[in-house]
Amino acid sequence: MSATQLIVKGRVDQILNDSISQQRRLVLTHNSPLGWRTFPSRFLSGSASSQALQVAAPISCNSSAQLPAPGETLGVTFRLGHKKCMFGTTVKSVHQDGGEGEVTLCWPDHLQQLQRRMYERAKPPKDVVIAVRFWREEVASGTAAEARCVRHGQLEDVSAGGMRIKVAHPNEIELGATYRCAFAPRPGKPSLVLDALVRHREAADCGRASVAFQFVGLETTVEGRQLLDRLARTISQFQRARSRTRR
């Protein structure tokens, strides 16, 4: 049984209508000029007939310049029982006047569901070392791609929400910054290349540190959702391998 499931029209409308009536909490993901940002929000109103969905404007944005603009793409994620739902959509309009405002989004025609167990940390199989490369995409104009600063680490664990890697020189890694990360979970297979935010770091052994990354933007594009499918399969493989080792 697949860990991911694509939900289409009729069921989508039912899930969103229920979420609106209960004003469920959600998270908005926005790829701003300063990099990926995530904001807490909640469902307000909307309908399939109007093809519009209203959600609360991000309260952590203290100016209209920080809000997503009409025409931009947002990712939306929310919990539904033991699953997590997500979809990408386009901003129709933004309204904020003093107190809480609202962002009007296009009503989606499909969404993706992911089993909650995919958000549990899964370690690579015993005695398997998986190298991770990561770098900032902020390359100065006229600078060759090869000149970007690529850092290296070792995968400690991974989930659908992010990963931890062990690195040297951790102070050179900027908290809250967006990095592009690449790793190949299986030898000879294409690398997974994902955008991620640095959430925190803690000291490890021999002067190294464990750095936690949060994956962002996977729900906003078809390619991202395909990456999420691959990521879920990788996590399932890691979980099965660890289970066999324990037995």
Of 141-145, 196-200, 202-206, 238-242, which range is least confident?
141-145
Q: Tell me the fold of 4-118.
A: Pnp Oxidase; Chain A (2.30.110)
| pLDDT for the residue 2 | 61
Q: For position 144, what pLDDT does the model report?
A: 45
Residue 234's pLDDT band (cuts 50, 70, 90): very high
Q: How far apart are CA 245 and CA 247, in angstroms?
A: 5
In this predicted structure, what is the pLDDT of residue 68?
87
- Say which residues have a Cβ less than 8 Å from residue 90's Cβ, sequence separation at least 6: 71, 72, 73, 74, 105, 106
CATH among 2.40.10.220, 1.10.12.10, 1.10.150.120, 3.10.290.10 for 120-246: 2.40.10.220
Residue among 113, 77, 107 at smallest CA distance from 90: 107
Please compute the mean of the pLDDT values over residues 59-66 and round it to a whole number. 57
Q: Quick one: pLDDT at residue 150?
A: 93
Using DSSP's 3-state secondary structure scheme, residue 58 falls into coil
Which sequence spans correspond to the domains of the chain?
4-118, 120-246
Question: Residue 18 pLDDT > 90, yes or no?
Answer: yes
CB distance 32 to 15 below 8 Å:
no
Helix (H, G, I), strand (E, B) or coil at 210: strand
